Amino acid sequence: MKGVARAALAASCAGIGLLGVRLAHAHHSFVMFDLARQVEISGTVRSLEWGNPHVWLWLAVTDQRGHSVIYGFEGRSIGEMARHGGWSKSIVRYGDRVTVKYHPFESGKSGGQLMLVTLPDGRTVRAGIN
């Protein structure tokens, strides 16, 4: 009976370990974005959420009817954006007019995966490794 109990315990531990790997993989999945499309849009910065696990850039964009629509763009981690993209928490400020290139959400929600931002002074910054 000891052998059976030991095998069951080993199988349970392996299963829990695999679950952790699957959850980590799901966290880093890009399935929510349409990676086949890249869209460009201009708007006014509402906020930059400089935090982990991912940086978020929020813009107010005027739609075809003249209404303001809030778009959310998910970036990479702070470290990736700082090291590989040149970002800092003060690179954009409330009210700045910027242009964003992004992979849109598959769901059709306003926003997507942040790829590149053209700043008010004309410089461009990448959203980390992409």
pLDDT at 41: 97
Q: Taking the domains of the chain in order of start, what are their residue ranges?
A: 1-29, 39-126
| pLDDT (0 to 100) of residue 43 | 98
Distance of CA 106 to the CA centre of its chain: 14
pTM for the full predicted model:
0.76
Across the range 78-105, mean pLDDT stands at 95
pLDDT digits (tens, 9 = 90+) for 50-71: 998 999 999 999 999 999 999 9
Give per-residue pLDDT as tens, 93-122.
999 999 999 999 999 999 999 999 999 999
Residues 6+ apart with CB under 8 A from 63: 69
CA angle, residues 23, 26, 29, in degrees to nearest 5: 155
CATH number of 39-126: 2.40.50.1010
CA atoms of 86 and 15, how far apart (whole Å): 40
Q: Rounded to whole angstroms, how far apart are CA atoms 7 and 30?
A: 36
